[in-house]
Amino acid sequence: MARILLLETSTATLSVALSADGKVVAERICTEPRQQASLAAPLVKEVLDEAGLSMAGCDAVCVSKGPGSYTGLRVGVSTAKGLCFGAGLPLLSVGTLEVLAHSVIPGQAKDPQYIIPMIDARRMEVYTAVFSPEGKQLTEVEAKVVGPDSFAAELLEGPVLFIGDGALKCREVLTSPNAFFQKADPLAGVMAPLAEAAWQEKRFEDLAYFEPFYLKDFIATVSRKNLF
């Protein structure tokens, strides 16, 4: 039975969980924005204390690797690496869109042909990919500007469930009667069976070289206040 610490910091919602044999035994969720850097470590301690474990009692750490917030991903991966180095544990990772695809609440769409998770990338751009109803990834992850003709082929085939914080802003653009929408955040608890599968298959990351999947380069901006 693998005990895996789970970290999800890719969006505004921060979550930490502990799983045993693919089942969540402790979980903490913070929905207050921009708290990843200050609360990730305290929430790790809380879930470990609840389970009566130390990091040495865990078998691995699994982090949601992106795409998503540049800063959030850096915090999550840095925290996960630090915990692994400190306790001598292996590192696992799962894609953030895969986490969202496994967050579907039954009944949100009638037998969807596809599940399309979307992470907000500002304006009408989203990070997205197409998944099967079973959560298998069918297309490459991309940064996509959503317009009226987006996902036309999938929508012609039948019901499509769009899920995530990027999905809701697309409601007015994706007007097909086959388009359904579900609000959801990628949460650490949903990662439990995905992390367990990665553990069983020994899909360990290289601690020294592993980096988040940013998808796009970070572009720093200068505050207008500094221009005058």
Q: Are strands 160-163 and 114-120 parallel, antiparallel or unpaired?
A: parallel
User: C-alpha angle with apex 200: 195 to 204, nearest 5 degrees?
Assistant: 65
The answer to whether 94 and 187 are in contact (CB under 8 A) is no
The mean pLDDT of 39-67, rounded to a whole number, is 97
Q: Is 136 left (phi over 0), alpha (psi -120 to 50) or beta?
A: beta
- Write down the pLDDT at residue 217: 59
Q: Which fold has domain 104-182?
A: Nucleotidyltransferase; domain 5 (3.30.420)
Quote the pTM value.
0.91
pLDDT bin (cut points 50, 70, 90) of residue 106 is confident
- Averaged pLDDT of the chain: 93
Q: Residues 156-215: pLDDT tens digits?
A: 999 999 999 999 999 999 999 999 999 999 999 999 999 999 999 999 999 999 999 998
The mean pLDDT of 132-141, rounded to a whole number, is 96
Q: Mapped to the 3 state alphabet, what secondary structure does 90-115 carry?
A: CEEEECHHHHHHCCCCCCCCCCCCEE
Range list for CATH 3.30.420.40 in the chain: 3-95+186-219
Q: Residues 58-74: pLDDT tens digits?
A: 999 999 999 999 999 99
For 126, the 3-state DSSP assignment is strand
The mean pLDDT of 1-29, rounded to a whole number, is 96
For 40, the 3-state DSSP assignment is helix
Q: Which CATH class is domain 3-95+186-219?
A: alpha beta
